[in-house]
Structure 1
Amino acid sequence: MSDETAFNFTKRAIDALPLPAAGQRATYRDTKTPGLQLRITSAGVKTFVVFRRVNGKPERITLGKYPAMTIEQARARAADVNADIAMGVSPAAKRRADKADMPFAAFWKEYLERHARIRNKPRTVHEAEKTFRNYLSGLAGRKLSEITKADCQRLHHTIAKRTSGPTANRVLAVLSSAMSVAHDWGYLPGGNPAKGVKKFRERPRDRFLHADELPRFWQALLEEPNRDLADFFMVALLTGARRANVLAMRWEDVSLERAEWKIPETKNGEALTVPLVAAVVTLLSERRSFATGEWVFPGQGKTGHLVEPKSAWRRILARAGIEDLRVHDLRRTLGSSMAAAGVNTITTARTLGHKTLTMALRYQHLGTDPRRAAIEAGAGAILASAGVHEAAEVITLNKRGKT
C-alpha cells in the first residue's frame, strides 16, 4: 500500500477524501492503529475494518460504518481485535462463536435482511414473516447454537397436532431453509438441525364440487347476505383463478369490453390473461356500477381489499350441506369441468396458469384463443350443473344492494 493511502485518521481528513470511480473501492490505512483501515465505495459509503493475517491467512473484520462509528470507537474495537490475535484467537472464529450464541429472533431478523429480502419475492418474504409469528416465535429467545434436531422434531409434531401435517411440513421447510443459511454463514458449524427431520406424508388433494353438489352450492351463494363475498366466490369458481389473485383484483386490470382480466403476477411469477365468461362479465358490470375505489372486492383492512373470507365460507357450506371443501377447490372444480367437457390437458394447464408447456405456445398464433373456449366449456358445465341457464341469474341478488 502506497504512502498516499496511509495517514493519521482524523474527521477532517476522512471527510475530505475523494470518492473512487464508479464501481471501484478505495482503501486507506490508519498510521496510529495497526490493521485499522477505512474502505470507501463510489457511492460514498465509508466502513471501518481491521485487516490482519492470522496463521498466515488474511482476515478482514468489519467494525462499522463511518460516521455512525467514530474514529475513537473504531480504534478501540481494532485494539480489541489485535489483542485477540495476540492471544491466538482468530477474529473470524470468535465472530462465528458469537453469532452462534445470538438469540434465534436476532438471527431471523438478519436472515430476512441479508438473504430472504434479496433473493425472494415480497410474497415469499411475507409468508416467511407470518410463519415466524404463528409457529416459530417460541424459538425466539433460544440461542441459535442450542436449537437441536430434537427441538425441530418436537416443533414439527406440535404444529401437526395444532393444524395439519402439510402445514407442519411447510413450517419445517421454512425453518430448515433459514438454518441452512446459518450454517453457510458459519454460525452453525455443526450443521442444520432441521435437516433430516422426517416430514409427514401428504396425499394430493383431489376434492372438487361434484355435479350433485353444484346446485346446492350455487343456491347457498345466492342466499349469502354478504354480496361482496358471494360475488368473490362466484368469480373464483368461474375463472379458476387463485384465491389471492381474485381477492386482489383491480378494476384497472379488468376489461369488460374485451371480456378479460389481466393478472399482473401469479404464483408462478408470470402475468396471466384470464378470459371472462358472460356470467362473470355481467356480475362485474353490476359491481362496476357502484364501485368507488380501485378494488373489485374492497375491504376494511390495511390491504384495502377482502382477505380470508372464512366465516362466509363456513356459512355457505353449512347452508349447502357440503363438507370438506376449501376455497382452492373451486379452482379444481373448474379444471375438472374443463376435462369433463373434453378440453385437452395442455389447454387446461395454460388456462389455469400452471407452468406453461412449450406446445401450448403454438396457440398464440391461432385466430381464436383456445383458453376462452376452454374456460367457457368449464364454466358452462358448472352453470348447467348448478341449474343456471342465463348470465343474468348470477347477479339477480346484486341489484337489491349490498350488506
Structure 2
Amino acid sequence: MKLDLTQTLVSQMSIDKVPMVGVKYKDWPAASGPNYLVYDGHRDAPPGFAIRVGKRSSVYLVEKQVAGKNMKIPVGLAKGKKGDAVLIDLETARVLADGLIATAKKHRANPKSIADRIEASELTLGQVWDEYIKDLTGRSKPIKPNSLSSLKNARDKFQDWEDRKVRLVTGREVLDRFDLHAVTNGHKTAAEAMGRWATAAVNNAIENETHNAHSEGRTPSLTYNPFTILQTKKKYRDHDQLEKDYAKKGVRNPLSFATTVGPFIKAAWEYRESNPLAADYLLLDFLWGLRGDECRTMKWYDKLSHEETFTQRWVDMDQKVARVNDAKNRQDHEFPIGPFAYELLKLRREMQKPDDIWVFPARMPNSLTGHYSDPSVAMKTVRDAAGIKVVRGHDLRRTFGAACEKLGLIDRQVKRMLGHSTGGGDTLGRYTTPEWGDVVSRMEKIEEMIMRTAPQVFNALRPRGVKSMSDESDTLIKPGPIKKSRRAV
C-alpha cells in the first residue's frame, strides 16, 4: 500500500493493525501476516521509500533498481528495538534514503554490502583470524591439521586482543608481545610462529580489502600491517642463529655414519623380536627419509580402489614404488622402494592379516586413526639400546639427507629424494623414464650406505645375489620366525 507518511502514522503502525487512508486508527483492519510494507507517497520522499512494520520493530527502507538489480536498502529504525540501532525520525530517514540511493548508483552496489566492507580498517583482530581460517580451510587444498593447530596456538597468544581494532594496534605493542614470549618466557620458536601467523592473517585481510575496494571503485581502507614491524626490526632469527640455538638446546641431531647409524640400525632390528611393528616403522622411516606421519599413514596399494590411489599414501609391492600424496609442502612425493626396504616390507606383509589395509596398522582395534601413531616409546627403547644420547624421529630424515650429501648428490637431487619443493614448477611425483632410473640408482646407494653400517642387518635383509658382509663381532640374525608378543601385530 501507499500513504503520505507522517510521524504520527509511523508511531501508530503496529503488526496488529494496517493503516487505511481516511480511516480512524481504532477502525484500522487487523494485519494478516508476519509484517507488512507501506510506501511513502509524500512529495519529500524519494521514490521507493517505505516502512516495514514487524512484530518487534518497524524499519525504514528504500527499494531501488540499480544496474539491473532490485535492491532493498535498509535506512534505519523507525519504531521498537532492533539490536543497538538508534531510532530516527521520518524526516531524517528520507534524507538518509536520498544519500543511500546516490551511493548505490555511484558504486552500483547495495550500500549495506558496501558498509560491511568499507571500514575494513575497523576489523578486529578476532575477525581477521576468523576470515583467515575461513580462507585457508576453503582452498582447493585446505590447510593441514598440524598447520591449523599451529595457527590456533599463535592466535591464543593474542587472546586479549580479539576485540582490538587492527588499525589501533601499535608497532610497540607488537614488539612487546613478541618479547614477552621470546625473551621473558624463553619460547623463541613459538614467538616467531606467532608473529608470522599474525602477519599472514592481516596480510590476508589487506588483500581481501584490496579486491573489494577495486570492485567497488574506491580506495582500500586497510593498507598497513602492524605485525610487519617484527621483520623490520629483525626479530626473527636467521639460519646461523637458528643452528646455534638448536645446538645449544641439543635438538636436530642427525646420526653419525661413523658412530651411531650402525648401532641404531642393529638395535632397531633386535627390537623386532618383541615389537616388529614399531621396529619396521623405524627402519623403513629411516630408509625412506620420510616425515613420521608420511610413513605411518602408508597403505597397501593393492587394497585401494583406483580412485583412492590418487588421494591415499601407498606402497606398491609389484612396481616397487611408494607414494606420499599431499605431503607437507602440498605436493606429491613418489619414490622407488630399494632392495633392503623391499625385503623388510615382505616380512612386514607376511606377518599381517590378509585384510590389513595399513602397512603399519594400529595395535588396538578401536584406534581412531586405524594406523600406528605413536613411536615415542619405540624410539626411546631403540635409542637407549644403541647407547645414543639424543635422537628424535625427524633426525632420521636428517640422516637420510646427510647420506645423500655424502654420496655427492647436488642440492636439487637431495631435495627430490627428500620430497622437498625444488622450484621451477617441478612436480615431485612425476619423472621421465631416464630420471626414474637415476632415482632408483640413488635410492639403492643410499640404502646400501645406511645398511653397511650394521653388517648383521645387512646380511639378514640383503637381496638375492648381493654378497654378504663379513663381521666377526656380530652374530647373524635371521629375519624369521619372529617371536610375537601381546604388543606385536
Q: TM-score of the superposition, structure 2-length normalised? A: 0.58
* Cα 1:109–1:324 shift into 2, 3 Å: same
State the partner residue of 1:384: 452
The structure 1 residue matched to 2:267, chosen from 220, 224, 228, is 220
State the partner residue of 2:226: 193
Describe the superposition over 1:318-355 as per-residue Cα deviations: whole angstroms up to 9, x where unpaired.
43333443322212212322332344554433232233
Deviation for aligned residue 1:391: 0.7
The structure 1 residue matched to 2:175, chosen from 144, 153, 172, is 153
Task: Please list, as runs of the form range in 1=range in 2, the aligned pairs for 1:4-403 lying within 5 A after superposition.
Answer: 32=50, 34-36=61-63, 50=73, 85=96, 100=122, 102=124, 104-113=125-134, 115-119=135-139, 121-124=141-144, 126-142=145-161, 143-145=163-165, 147-160=169-182, 164-184=187-207, 189=222, 191-197=224-230, 198-203=235-240, 207-211=253-257, 212-224=259-271, 225-252=274-301, 253-289=314-350, 290-291=352-353, 292-299=355-362, 302-307=368-373, 309-356=375-422, 364-366=432-434, 369-387=437-455, 388-389=457-458, 390-391=460-461, 400-401=484-485, 403=487
Describe the superposition over 1:118-148 as per-residue Cα deviations: whole angstroms up to 9, x where unpaired.
3473244x34431244342242353132644
Deviation for aligned residue 1:154: 4.0
* Cα 1:268–1:296 shift into 2, 3 Å: same
State the partner residue of 1:65: none
Distance across 1 between alignment mates of 2:420 and 2:436: 20
- Preserved contact between residue 236 and residue 330 of structure 1 (Cα < 8 Å): yes
Distance across 2 between alignment mates of 1:141 and 1:248: 38
Residue type of the alignment partner of 1:380:
E
Query: Residue 241 of structure 1: SS of its match in structure 2?
Result: coil
Distance across 1 between alignment mates of 2:321 and 2:378: 27
CA RMSD of aligned residues (A): 4.7
Distance across 2 between alignment mates of 1:188 and 1:358: 36
More displaced 10-residue stretch of structure 1: 298-307 or 233-242 = 298-307
- Preserved contact between residue 128 and residue 174 of structure 1 (Cα < 8 Å): no
More helix by share: 1
Deviation for aligned residue 1:358: 7.1
Distance across 2 between alignment mates of 1:116 and 1:242: 23
Distance across 2 between alignment mates of 1:132 and 1:345: 30
Deviation for aligned residue 1:163: 7.2
Describe the superposition over 1:252-299 as per-residue Cα deviations: whole angstroms up to 9, x where unpaired.
221112222122232333322211122222222233231444322234
**% identity of equivalent residues:** 22
* Cα 1:139–1:340 shift into 2, 3 Å: closer
Q: TM-score of the superposition, structure 1-length normalised? A: 0.68
Residue type of the alignment partner of 2:201:
A
Distance across 2 between alignment mates of 1:188 and 1:309: 50
Query: Residue 274 of structure 1: SS of its match in structure 2?
Result: strand
Query: Residue 73 of structure 2: SS of its match in structure 1?
Result: strand
- Preserved contact between residue 136 and residue 143 of structure 2 (Cα < 8 Å): no
Query: Residue 379 of structure 2: SS of its match in structure 1?
Result: helix
